[in-house]
Amino acid sequence: MDKRIQSVSEAVADIQNGSTVMIGGFGEAGSPIELIHALIDSGARNLTVVNNNTGNGEVGLAALIGNGQVRKMICSYPRSSHSKVFPELYRAGKIELELVPQGTLAERIRAGGAGIPAFYTPTTVGTPLAEGKEVREFNGRKYVMEPWLQADYALIKCETADHAGNLTYNKTARNFSPIMCIAATTTIVQARKIVAPGDIDPECVVTPGLFVDRIVQVAEPLQESKLIAEGVSYP
């Protein structure tokens, strides 16, 4: 079961208009910038994108949004010191936003992958983000019911992948990626290194291979902050 694909464009070629796409990364850490750029090249539109943020500058996720391919963002923090694309489109009413607290976002994604359609969390109780949601008391404390979150695709950056799709990550670039791998029907991964099965210690595998569908090597990925500093704009 060799899951290697030759190019990022081939890896994302079947992503259709209207798909829901989870994109790993917390800011630039773990952002699969080459896969995102391939998705820009593919031209798929009307996407719902799940990411903690909305990208920076005019590369990567921000470029995908700026290119008008995203109908709706599901995220916890859609602004940053370098984000301007999303705010402009949002103020112009050209993009939808589902704002989800970071921990609820993570847990909804995990639930989506774990076959749990809903769970209760204390997060948002008594706040505007709980409006319209079921509130229920357990052991004398109030909790909000939250539904799972699933996706058609996940775009993921990892450190090392083996042919069978076992993955390890690098430091805090891990963030949402392992749970997105389990919540998406098709998981597409760009890896700095690709090794043979058995080369990753089975005790240290973070994402087991059955969650991964396609692996493409990007040995020297672009770094978002560097591109922004250089004033790069994609495409």
| Binders in 38-57 for other proteins, by CB under 8 A | 52
**Token pair 């791998």: residue:** 181
CB-wise, 82 or 133, nearer to a copy of itself? 133
Q: Least separation, in Å, of the C-beta of 147 and a copy of itself?
A: 7
Neighbouring C-alpha atoms within 13 Å toward the C-beta of 125 = 13
Burial letters 188-221, b for 16+ CB under 10 A, else e: bbbbeebeeeeebeeeebbbebebbbbbbbbeee
Q: What are the two backbone dihedrals, phi and then psi, of residue 68, each rounded to the nearest 5 degrees?
A: 75, 20
Q: How many angstroms from the chain centroid is the CA of residue 227? A: 20
Site string (120-159) toward a copy of itself, x via CB under 8 A: xxx---------------xx-x-x---x------------
Site string (199-228) toward a copy of itself, x via CB under 8 A: --xxxx-x----------------------
**Among the candidate windows 24-32, 59-67, 94-102, 115-123, which touches a copy of itself by CB under 8 A?**
115-123
Task: Map the footprint of other proteins across residues 174-193, applying CB under 8 A.
Answer: 174-179, 182
Q: Pick the binder of other proteins from 129, 193, 218, 232 (CB under 8 A).
A: 129
Residue 156 sits at the vertex; the CA angle it makes with 155 and 158, to the nearest 5 degrees, is: 160
CB-wise, 44 or 56, nearer to other proteins? 56
Q: Are 177 and 207 in contact (CB under 8 A)?
A: yes
**Among the candidate windows 21-29, 88-96, 116-124, 227-235, which touches a copy of itself by CB under 8 A?**
116-124
